[in-house]
Structure 1
Protein backbone atom coordinates (compact mmCIF):
# COMPACT_ATOMS: atom_id res chain seq x y z
CA UNK A 1 0.00 0.00 0.00
CA UNK A 2 1.36 3.42 -0.96
CA UNK A 3 2.17 5.89 1.79
CA UNK A 4 1.64 9.56 0.92
CA UNK A 5 4.28 10.63 3.44
CA UNK A 6 6.90 8.39 1.87
CA UNK A 7 5.89 9.54 -1.62
CA UNK A 8 6.27 13.19 -0.56
CA UNK A 9 9.73 12.54 0.90
CA UNK A 10 10.91 10.57 -2.13
CA UNK A 11 9.97 13.53 -4.35
CA UNK A 12 11.37 16.24 -2.06
CA UNK A 13 14.90 17.54 -1.86
CA UNK A 14 14.47 20.95 -0.23
CA UNK A 15 12.55 21.27 3.03
CA UNK A 16 11.77 24.64 4.61
CA UNK A 17 11.28 24.14 8.36
CA UNK A 18 9.01 26.72 9.98
CA UNK A 19 9.76 26.85 13.69
CA UNK A 20 13.15 25.12 13.64
CA UNK A 21 14.38 25.47 17.24
CA UNK A 22 17.75 26.68 18.51
CA UNK A 23 17.54 24.09 21.31
CA UNK A 24 19.13 20.76 20.28
CA UNK A 25 17.07 18.97 22.97
CA UNK A 26 13.79 19.84 21.23
CA UNK A 27 12.23 17.80 18.44
CA UNK A 28 11.96 21.03 16.42
CA UNK A 29 15.77 20.90 16.21
CA UNK A 30 16.65 17.21 16.30
CA UNK A 31 14.09 16.16 13.67
CA UNK A 32 15.30 18.67 11.02
CA UNK A 33 18.89 17.74 11.93
CA UNK A 34 18.09 14.08 11.25
CA UNK A 35 16.52 15.00 7.91
CA UNK A 36 19.61 17.02 7.03
CA UNK A 37 21.84 14.06 7.99
CA UNK A 38 19.77 11.89 5.62
CA UNK A 39 20.69 14.23 2.76
CA UNK A 40 17.76 16.64 2.57
CA UNK A 41 18.47 20.36 2.12
CA UNK A 42 17.03 22.10 5.18
CA UNK A 43 16.12 25.79 5.06
CA UNK A 44 15.34 27.13 8.54
CA UNK A 45 12.55 29.68 9.05
CA UNK A 46 12.81 31.43 12.40
CA UNK A 47 11.93 34.96 13.57
CA UNK A 48 15.28 35.86 15.14
CA UNK A 49 18.07 33.31 14.55
CA UNK A 50 20.71 33.99 11.89
CA UNK A 51 22.04 30.46 11.39
CA UNK A 52 20.73 27.04 12.38
CA UNK A 53 22.09 23.63 11.39
CA UNK A 54 24.82 25.49 9.49
CA UNK A 55 22.24 27.10 7.20
CA UNK A 56 21.18 30.72 6.73
CA UNK A 57 17.87 31.39 8.47
CA UNK A 58 15.01 33.21 6.79
CA UNK A 59 12.35 35.21 8.62
CA UNK A 60 9.49 33.93 6.46
CA UNK A 61 8.82 31.49 3.65
CA UNK A 62 8.48 34.43 1.26
CA UNK A 63 12.09 35.44 1.98
CA UNK A 64 13.54 32.14 0.73
CA UNK A 65 15.21 32.83 -2.66
CA UNK A 66 14.98 29.29 -4.04
CA UNK A 67 12.25 26.73 -4.75
CA UNK A 68 10.96 24.73 -1.78
CA UNK A 69 9.55 21.24 -2.26
CA UNK A 70 8.12 20.74 1.22
CA UNK A 71 7.23 22.98 4.14
CA UNK A 72 7.57 21.22 7.51
CA UNK A 73 5.77 22.94 10.39
CA UNK A 74 6.83 22.97 14.05
CA UNK A 75 4.42 25.68 15.17
CA UNK A 76 1.15 25.49 17.14
CA UNK A 77 -1.96 24.45 15.21
CA UNK A 78 -3.53 27.95 15.31
CA UNK A 79 -0.55 29.21 13.25
CA UNK A 80 -0.83 26.44 10.64
CA UNK A 81 -3.38 28.13 8.33
CA UNK A 82 -1.14 31.19 7.90
CA UNK A 83 1.82 28.90 7.17
CA UNK A 84 -0.32 26.99 4.66
CA UNK A 85 -1.15 30.26 2.88
CA UNK A 86 2.54 31.20 2.77
CA UNK A 87 3.49 27.72 1.50
CA UNK A 88 0.90 28.02 -1.26
CA UNK A 89 2.18 31.49 -2.17
CA UNK A 90 5.74 30.22 -2.71
CA UNK A 91 4.57 27.23 -4.73
CA UNK A 92 5.60 24.49 -2.30
CA UNK A 93 4.46 21.05 -3.41
CA UNK A 94 3.60 19.79 0.07
CA UNK A 95 2.78 20.91 3.61
CA UNK A 96 3.65 18.69 6.57
CA UNK A 97 2.42 19.41 10.11
CA UNK A 98 4.52 17.57 12.66
CA UNK A 99 3.24 15.04 15.18
CA UNK A 100 0.68 16.58 17.51
CA UNK A 101 -0.32 19.34 15.07
CA UNK A 102 -3.73 19.11 13.40
CA UNK A 103 -5.49 21.87 11.45
CA UNK A 104 -8.56 21.33 9.27
CA UNK A 105 -8.18 24.90 7.99
CA UNK A 106 -4.54 24.36 6.98
CA UNK A 107 -5.63 21.15 5.22
CA UNK A 108 -8.33 23.06 3.31
CA UNK A 109 -5.87 25.77 2.24
CA UNK A 110 -3.19 23.29 1.20
CA UNK A 111 -5.54 21.05 -0.75
CA UNK A 112 -7.19 24.04 -2.47
CA UNK A 113 -3.71 25.11 -3.60
CA UNK A 114 -2.99 21.63 -4.96
CA UNK A 115 -0.43 20.74 -2.31
CA UNK A 116 -0.05 17.33 -0.77
CA UNK A 117 -0.83 17.48 2.95
CA UNK A 118 0.25 15.50 6.00
CA UNK A 119 -0.60 16.26 9.61
CA UNK A 120 0.11 14.71 13.00
CA UNK A 121 3.06 12.63 11.74
CA UNK A 122 6.77 12.91 12.42
CA UNK A 123 8.66 13.45 9.19
CA UNK A 124 11.80 11.77 10.58
CA UNK A 125 9.90 8.64 11.59
CA UNK A 126 8.33 8.35 8.13
CA UNK A 127 11.76 8.87 6.55
CA UNK A 128 13.40 6.24 8.77
CA UNK A 129 10.66 3.64 8.31
CA UNK A 130 10.74 4.16 4.54
CA UNK A 131 14.58 4.17 4.55
CA UNK A 132 14.52 7.31 2.43
CA UNK A 133 17.80 9.14 1.89
CA UNK A 134 19.05 11.62 -0.66
Structure 2
Protein backbone atom coordinates (compact mmCIF):
# COMPACT_ATOMS: atom_id res chain seq x y z
CA UNK A 1 0.00 0.00 0.00
CA UNK A 2 1.44 3.37 -1.01
CA UNK A 3 0.36 6.48 0.86
CA UNK A 4 -0.12 9.69 -1.04
CA UNK A 5 -2.94 11.12 1.07
CA UNK A 6 -1.46 13.65 3.49
CA UNK A 7 -4.15 13.05 6.13
CA UNK A 8 -3.39 9.33 6.16
CA UNK A 9 0.33 10.05 6.32
CA UNK A 10 -0.19 12.49 9.22
CA UNK A 11 -2.30 9.88 11.05
CA UNK A 12 0.40 7.25 10.51
CA UNK A 13 3.10 9.54 11.92
CA UNK A 14 0.87 10.27 14.90
CA UNK A 15 0.16 6.59 15.62
CA UNK A 16 3.72 5.31 15.21
CA UNK A 17 5.77 5.18 18.42
CA UNK A 18 8.69 2.75 17.82
CA UNK A 19 10.91 3.16 14.75
CA UNK A 20 13.69 0.77 13.72
CA UNK A 21 16.31 2.63 11.69
CA UNK A 22 18.26 0.42 9.29
CA UNK A 23 21.56 2.01 8.36
CA UNK A 24 21.82 3.96 11.63
CA UNK A 25 25.02 6.02 11.86
CA UNK A 26 25.59 8.89 14.29
CA UNK A 27 28.16 10.79 12.24
CA UNK A 28 27.43 14.54 12.31
CA UNK A 29 26.41 15.89 8.93
CA UNK A 30 24.95 12.60 7.68
CA UNK A 31 21.22 12.74 6.82
CA UNK A 32 20.50 9.69 9.00
CA UNK A 33 22.04 11.44 12.01
CA UNK A 34 20.12 14.68 11.50
CA UNK A 35 16.80 12.94 10.81
CA UNK A 36 17.03 10.49 13.70
CA UNK A 37 18.12 13.10 16.24
CA UNK A 38 15.06 15.10 15.17
CA UNK A 39 12.78 12.04 15.53
CA UNK A 40 14.22 11.26 18.99
CA UNK A 41 13.58 14.87 20.03
CA UNK A 42 10.03 14.56 18.62
CA UNK A 43 9.38 11.74 21.10
CA UNK A 44 9.75 8.61 18.99
CA UNK A 45 11.51 5.55 20.36
CA UNK A 46 14.33 4.98 17.87
CA UNK A 47 15.97 1.56 17.64
CA UNK A 48 19.20 1.74 15.60
CA UNK A 49 20.11 -1.15 13.29
CA UNK A 50 23.65 -1.49 11.94
CA UNK A 51 25.65 -4.68 11.32
CA UNK A 52 28.88 -3.37 12.93
CA UNK A 53 28.00 -0.58 15.35
CA UNK A 54 26.85 -1.25 18.91
CA UNK A 55 25.98 2.18 20.30
CA UNK A 56 24.38 4.72 17.96
CA UNK A 57 22.92 7.88 19.56
CA UNK A 58 23.70 6.32 22.93
CA UNK A 59 21.15 3.58 22.17
CA UNK A 60 21.57 -0.19 22.01
CA UNK A 61 22.08 -1.01 18.36
CA UNK A 62 21.04 -4.29 16.73
CA UNK A 63 22.77 -6.09 13.87
CA UNK A 64 19.46 -6.82 12.10
CA UNK A 65 15.83 -5.82 12.44
CA UNK A 66 15.18 -9.49 13.25
CA UNK A 67 17.32 -9.13 16.41
CA UNK A 68 15.10 -6.42 17.93
CA UNK A 69 13.28 -7.97 20.93
CA UNK A 70 10.22 -5.67 20.83
CA UNK A 71 7.63 -4.99 18.12
CA UNK A 72 8.35 -1.98 15.92
CA UNK A 73 5.72 0.20 14.30
CA UNK A 74 7.83 1.46 11.43
CA UNK A 75 11.04 0.37 9.71
CA UNK A 76 12.94 3.35 8.30
CA UNK A 77 15.63 2.64 5.72
CA UNK A 78 18.77 4.67 5.17
CA UNK A 79 20.30 2.17 2.75
CA UNK A 80 20.83 2.25 -1.00
CA UNK A 81 17.87 1.05 -3.05
CA UNK A 82 19.56 -2.23 -4.02
CA UNK A 83 19.53 -3.36 -0.36
CA UNK A 84 15.85 -2.64 0.32
CA UNK A 85 14.46 -5.94 -0.98
CA UNK A 86 16.75 -7.85 1.38
CA UNK A 87 15.52 -5.74 4.29
CA UNK A 88 11.93 -6.33 3.18
CA UNK A 89 12.61 -10.07 3.42
CA UNK A 90 13.96 -9.57 6.96
CA UNK A 91 10.81 -7.66 7.91
CA UNK A 92 8.69 -10.57 6.67
CA UNK A 93 10.53 -12.82 9.18
CA UNK A 94 9.30 -10.73 12.12
CA UNK A 95 6.68 -12.19 14.44
CA UNK A 96 4.91 -8.81 14.61
CA UNK A 97 4.74 -6.96 11.31
CA UNK A 98 5.45 -3.22 11.37
CA UNK A 99 2.76 -0.90 10.09
CA UNK A 100 5.14 0.80 7.68
CA UNK A 101 8.31 0.21 5.63
CA UNK A 102 9.69 3.68 4.88
CA UNK A 103 12.44 4.28 2.33
CA UNK A 104 14.02 7.69 2.78
CA UNK A 105 14.34 10.38 0.13
CA UNK A 106 16.03 9.11 -3.02
CA UNK A 107 15.40 5.44 -2.15
CA UNK A 108 13.05 3.31 -4.29
CA UNK A 109 12.52 -0.43 -4.49
CA UNK A 110 9.75 -1.92 -6.61
CA UNK A 111 10.98 -5.36 -5.46
CA UNK A 112 10.60 -4.46 -1.77
CA UNK A 113 7.16 -2.99 -2.51
CA UNK A 114 6.12 -6.20 -4.24
CA UNK A 115 7.50 -8.42 -1.47
CA UNK A 116 5.57 -6.52 1.19
CA UNK A 117 2.31 -6.18 -0.73
CA UNK A 118 -0.52 -8.18 0.77
CA UNK A 119 1.00 -8.05 4.27
CA UNK A 120 -0.88 -4.96 5.48
CA UNK A 121 2.37 -2.96 5.57
CA UNK A 122 2.30 0.55 4.21
CA UNK A 123 5.27 1.11 1.90
CA UNK A 124 6.62 4.63 1.46
CA UNK A 125 9.37 5.44 -1.00
CA UNK A 126 11.45 8.55 -1.68
CA UNK A 127 10.18 10.60 1.27
CA UNK A 128 11.99 12.08 4.24
CA UNK A 129 10.22 11.14 7.47
CA UNK A 130 11.58 14.26 9.18
CA UNK A 131 10.25 16.61 6.48
CA UNK A 132 6.88 14.88 6.53
CA UNK A 133 6.76 15.04 10.32
CA UNK A 134 7.60 18.77 10.30
CA UNK A 135 4.94 19.45 7.67
CA UNK A 136 2.22 17.08 8.91
CA UNK A 137 2.56 16.48 12.66
CA UNK A 138 -0.74 17.16 14.32
CA UNK A 139 -2.52 17.73 10.97
CA UNK A 140 -4.89 14.75 10.63
* 2:59 aligned with 1:49: no
Query: How far off is 1:131 after superposition?
Result: 2.5
For 2:13 and 2:91, the matched residues in 1 are separated by 16
TM-score (norm 1): 0.92
Q: Quote the residue 1:124 is aligned against.
A: 130
Of stretches 26-35 and 3-12 in structure 1, the one that deviates more from structure 2 is: 3-12
For 1:31 and 1:88, the matched residues in 2 are separated by 25
Query: How far off is 1:116 after superposition?
Result: 0.5
For 1:51 and 1:5, the matched residues in 2 are separated by 30
Structure 1 runs of 4+ aligned residues shifted over 4 Å read none
Deviation sequence 1:42-84 (CA, Å, 0-9, x none): 0000011111112100000110000000000000001001111
Q: Which runs of 5+ in 2 are unaligned?
A: none
Q: Which runs of 5+ in 1 are unaligned?
A: none
Distance 1:93 1:32, change over 3 A: same
Query: How far off is 1:89 after superposition?
Result: 2.1
Query: How far off is 1:27 after superposition?
Result: 0.3
For 2:14 and 2:137, the matched residues in 1 are separated by 10
